[in-house]
Amino acid sequence: MTENTAAVTYASAGVDVEAGDRAVELMKDAIRATHSSAVVGGVGGFAGLYDASQLVKYRRPYLATSTDGVGTKVAIAQALDVHDTIGYDLVGMVVDDIVVCGAKPLFMTDYIATGKVVPERIADIVRGIAGACSVAGTALVGGETAEHPGLLAANEYDVAGAATGVVEADELLGPERVREGDVLIGMASSGIHSNGYSLVRKVINVAGWGLERQVDELGRTLGEELLEPTRVYTADCLDLAQAFPVNGPDGQTGTGIRGFSHVTGGGLAANLARVLPQGLEARVDRSSWQIPAIFSLIGSLGNVPLPDLERTLNLGVGMVAIVDPSVAEAAARRLNDRGVPAWVMGDVVAATEPDTDSPDYVQGAKGVNGGAVRLFGQYA
């Protein structure tokens, strides 16, 4: 050992254990607020515990699981030093994938990696996660905050999460339920949500626009618009599935909800194609809704071709319900009554001649060789 060498400690290496402990103290109340009597042990254990005895009431329970992150939207939060909304984006990306098959998300865990633990910042992130879990009716049962000095800058972080849900086997929603003649109901997004920010950030960088810029079309600053949290649809979709069950009195497919499509990376057509069976085609009428101002702005500011916008961003539609035509109007009305703008945006027909050269046509997507989607008309 070299003489007079200063002792190297974990703190001198850049990891502040005490800061991590302070962050936990700041977030504990928000986490506890998501807990029901099914959560065992509270906050701070090595593992989150959930009482699964409620599953005995299911005839044949299927467990559903999903994991995701937020992507480069975190760069917007870091640039603005606003961290209490990014948790909604994380939760929305995870639980709204689970509800697509009709499953109720039971519990969730999160993971935050950062260059330096700032207790208040970490607590803000987790408060957002907990708030969104409360909206979804999902317990936040655990998580991990990791300090990675030298790998991430002091103000940098990334977030990820995973959730587990349950659905009755004979109430599982998906392509097998979809029928010719079914109706598509669009549910409005709250904005860009959490996909396509690499394109968005490139556009505003090339245009030389700052996040603090006031934009008349948006009625607020660009940064405020880009940080608008993802709408969490889980409770609304579960309510819809309960109000319009897929099974009739004999247990066979009835006149209810057939399935959902969560519009995330890849845009509307690609995600809708994933929940359609082969032999069927969804026709989506662009004229049934108006593109929100932020999407038109990104398109014009970056001279982004419409097909590229449609393949990257949600363009105002965050979730789609596929329903029996007999309940379409009632289902849309129920969503609107719950505060989710919803409208009939198209229908399902027998597959027509493929048009693989057209940007308006998608058949199969993301590894699923399912049905097709055809977009038509002009946006309102």
- Helix 197-207 × helix 73-80 angle, to 10°: 50
Cα 143 → chain centroid:
19
Domain ranges of the chain: 12-167, 175-376
Residue 17: CB atoms within 10 A of its CB come to 11
List the pLDDT tens digit at each of the 380 positions of the chain: 555 677 776 776 767 667 767 777 777 777 787 788 788 877 766 787 888 898 999 999 999 999 999 999 999 999 999 999 999 999 999 999 999 999 999 999 999 999 999 989 999 999 999 999 999 999 999 888 999 999 999 999 999 999 999 999 999 999 999 999 999 999 999 999 999 999 999 999 999 999 999 999 999 999 999 999 999 999 999 999 999 998 755 445 567 999 999 999 999 999 999 999 999 999 999 999 999 999 999 999 999 999 999 999 999 999 999 999 999 999 999 999 999 999 999 999 999 888 888 999 999 777 778 899 999 999 98
The pLDDT score that the predictor gives to residue 320 is 98
At residue 244, the pLDDT reads: 93
| Cα–Cα distance measured from residue 15 to residue 303, given in angstroms and rounded to the nearest whole number | 45
Q: Residue 247 class from Cβ within 10 Å (0-12 exposed, 13-18 middle, 19+ buried)?
A: middle
| Fold (CATH) for 175-376 | Phosphoribosyl-aminoimidazole Synthetase; Chain A, domain 2 (3.90.650)
Looking at the domain 12-167, which fold is it? 60s Ribosomal Protein L30; Chain: A; (3.30.1330)
Identify the pLDDT of residue 4: 60
Tokens of 334: 């129920």
Q: Provide the pLDDT for residue 86.
A: 96
Q: What is the pLDDT of residue 317?
A: 98
Among the listed residues 120, 303, 299, 116, the one whose alpha carbon sits nearest the alpha carbon of residue 192: 299
User: Cα–Cα distance between 227 and 294 in angstroms, integer?
Assistant: 12
**Does 175-376 match 12-167 at the fold level?**
no
pTM for the model: 0.91
Angle formed by the axes of helices 119-136 and 234-243, to 10°? 10
d(CA 26, CA 123): 6
pLDDT given at position 96: 98
CB-count burial class (<10 Å; 0-12, 13-18, 19+) for 251: exposed
Nearest Cα to Cα of residue 275 among 102, 38, 112, 128: 102
Contact 350, 280 (CB under 8 A): yes
Which letter, b or e, does each residue of 170-191 get, where b requires 16 or more Cβ atoms within 10 Å of its Cβ? ebbbbbebbeeebbbbbbbbbb
The SS3 assignment for 172 reads: coil
C-alpha span between 89 and 75 (Å, rounded) = 13
